[in-house]
Structures are given as C-alpha cells and as structure tokens.
Structure 1
Amino acid sequence: MKRTAEIDRSTSETRIHLKLTIDGTGLSAIRTTVPFLDHMLHLFARHGLFDLTVEAQGDIDIDFHHTVEDIGIVLGEAFRQALGDKKGIVRYGTARIPMDETLADVTVDLSGRPYLVYNVDLPKVKVGEFDAELAREFFQAFANNCGCNLHLNLLYGENVHHIIEACFKGFGRSLDSATRQDARLHGVMSTKGVL
C-alpha cells in the first residue's frame, strides 16, 4: 500500500496544494513564495527521502507568517493522512545533525498526541526576508496537525541559517526513521493497541 496524501487547503489568507509520498526518494518541487522556506522544505524532503510537492500562495504582502504556518498545518495533515492507522511503523525517530558550527537534535514520536518542545533560542533576525521566529510557528503547526511529539534541541550554534537548516534536516531524518515500517511489528507500537 502506498503511503501518500494530497491536500488542498484554501483560506482567506493562503492557498496551498501539497502532495506527499512517504516512501519516496527525496524528490521535491516546492514553490511557496517564501524562498528560504522553499530551501528548507527541499532539504527536509531530501534528507527524509520523502517525495514532496508544495505550491502555495499567501498574503506575503503582509508578512510570511500565515503562509509558513499554514504549510506546517497542511504538511502535518498530510503525514497524518498518509500514515493511516500507523500499523507497523517504528513510531520514534531521532537525528543529530551538524551544520558547520551548529549541532541540533530532533526527535519525533508519532504518538497521536501533539506537543512541541522547541529549545532553539534564535535572535529576532531575518534570514534573507524570512523571520527566524517563523521556524517555530512552522514546527508547532506541524506537530499539532500531525499529532506528534516533536522535540527540537539546539546544542550549540551561531549562524541562524545553519541552525534552522540543521533543524529541518534533522526533522526530515527523524521523521524518516519514525515512519519506517518494521515487518516484526504486528499492529501498532503501543501497548494500548492504538496510536
């Protein structure tokens, strides 16, 4: 069974079309009108080996907040939908990613319970035109809509671009691990019998 999802979401602030294949090869086609987010989503797809298409338009004349957050919402919904009942998945994934002077840990639990721990202390600066604080908004929206525990911990780092990039790469790799199927598992990885 292919683990895929395709979602269209339109609001008064954004229009998003997203297509996801969990068991992909890292191919991506990303056009969000937020160049730095495009870059991060390409990295996420490549390092998670997900096939990902995102086309988005938003009220970027105001700022990037709605577009970034809504893409996080839709990506979270897509993973939740593509994973279905989560039978046979490993459930947990962790990645520790270096990026030059930066080291970040990202851990995910596809538990069905949304929770974000974001120990990534960034200054209120821009990377290009992207407000660094929007990275947190993206991850919060994803966790809420995927229904996962998502922990991002910056061990150290100085360059804000490197820090956010390490987080997105770790996000991809940890989700790749958590979504892997293990033939030894019958049902879900929970003593409750449901995730």
Structure 2
Amino acid sequence: MSAARTATVHRQTGETNVKVSLDLDGKGKGAIATGIPFLDHMLQQICTHGLIDLNIQAQGDLHIDDHHTNEDVGITLGQALAKSLGDRKGIIRFGHFTAPLDEALVQISLDFSGRPYLVYGLDIPTQRVGTYDTQLVREFFQAVVNHAHITLHIRQLDGINSHHIIEATFKAFARSLRMAVEPDPRQIDVIPSSKGVL
C-alpha cells in the first residue's frame, strides 16, 4: 500500500472547471467552493465523517443551472478516489453505514469492486432544498460511482424532511467510504479479491 494516498484531478470542459485534491488519511479538513452552497454543505459531510481532507474548487455555468457543475464535481471526485487508491491493494474494500438524522434514516452499502453500479432508493419529497434541485443528488452519486468504479446501494429507511434525507445520505456515504478505504492489517499487500484484481 502506498504511504501517501492522495490525488489531484483537474477537469476542464466548455461548461465547468473543477479541481479536486484529496487525502484519504486526512483529518477531515475541507476547503470547498463549488458555487452551489447546499452541495458545499454536503461535501463537507464527506470530509467530517469520512476523515478525508478535501479541496474542491469549481466554476461552472451556474447561470444556466447547477446540473453541469454538480455532475462534474461528482466525476472529478470519483476520479480522484480511484487515483488515490491505485490497484486498491490492502483496503477493506466494503463499507456500510446507516445514518440517522432526526426522522430520517438512510443506509449505504458500497464496494470498491471495479464495477460501477448504482442502486438509488431515495424518495425526496420536495423538488428543491433552498435553490438546490433535489434530482441532482442522484446525478452526483451516479457520477461518483461511474468514475470511482464502485458499487453503491442507497436505501432510505425513513424520512419526510428533504434536507435531513439528503444529509443523512452524505453522512452514511462518508462513513461507508471511510470503512471501505481503511487499510486491512491482515492483508496489507493483497488486493481484496479472489480474482487478484479489482
């Protein structure tokens, strides 16, 4: 396993300019500015509860809407996760967590399988939280899944408040991510797959 599990990815298109730097073995520090305040708040949950240091700076065509920036932040974060893990040798690989937030309860299970697959089971009752379009939650996680090459199951067990449901999702994702990327002391030099590759 590499001593430094860090990565920096820069993605620039005609719609967005996104730079993500991360340290999987950080202290939970975040420097996040996407231009989308609610997304910034959710990304901070990944830092705080995943103990991942994240620097995310994004500029996008927000005069149109938040879609391109939201998706491209997810893409770039997924690429940075994949890059920081390399061949995924020595990690736990699987992570799961169920996070409560008041009346909301969300379960996450994930696998750094090398196979992108999203099962999305949120039922968010409102179209917006503040100015944030709640349809973009799925788009964000689909982008992360596709580019980190993970299998991700999101299941809402309870909840009626949109903010609580989404925040519980990001907290559960953070804790699951933290579990999955932790070094496994029993197989520190082994890729955790019977195939020998992920």
- TM above 0.5, yes or no, is yes
Corresponding residue for residue 131 of structure 1: 133
Contact 1:124 1:133 in 2 (8 A): no
Corresponding residue for residue 153 of structure 1: 155
Structure 1 Cα separation of the partners of residues 64 and 109 of structure 2? 33
* Unpaired segments ≥5 residues, structure 1: none
Task: Verify: 1:140 aligned to 2:139, yes or no.
Answer: no
Structure 1 Cα separation of the partners of residues 101 and 191 of structure 2? 34
Structure 2 Cα separation of the partners of residues 19 and 50 of structure 1? 10
Q: Give the superposition deviation at 1:123.
A: 3.2
TM-score normalised to the size of structure 1?
0.98
Structure 2 Cα separation of the partners of residues 124 and 14 of structure 1? 27
Q: 2:190 is matched with which residue: 182, 187, 191?
A: 187
Q: 2:72 is matched with which residue: 64, 70, 73?
A: 70
- Over aligned residue pairs, what C-alpha RMSD do you find? 0.7
Corresponding residue for residue 5 of structure 1: 7
Q: 1:164 is matched with which residue: 163, 166, 177?
A: 166
Instruction: Say how many residue pairs are matched.
Output: 195
Structure 2 Cα separation of the partners of residues 107 and 20 of structure 1? 22
Q: 2:101 is matched with which residue: 94, 99, 102?
A: 99
Q: 1:40 is matched with which residue: 36, 39, 42?
A: 42
Structure 2 Cα separation of the partners of residues 140 and 71 of structure 1? 11
Contact 2:108 2:152 in 1 (8 A): yes
Q: Give the superposition deviation at 1:183.
A: 1.6
Runs of 4+ in 1 over 3 A off after TM superposition: none
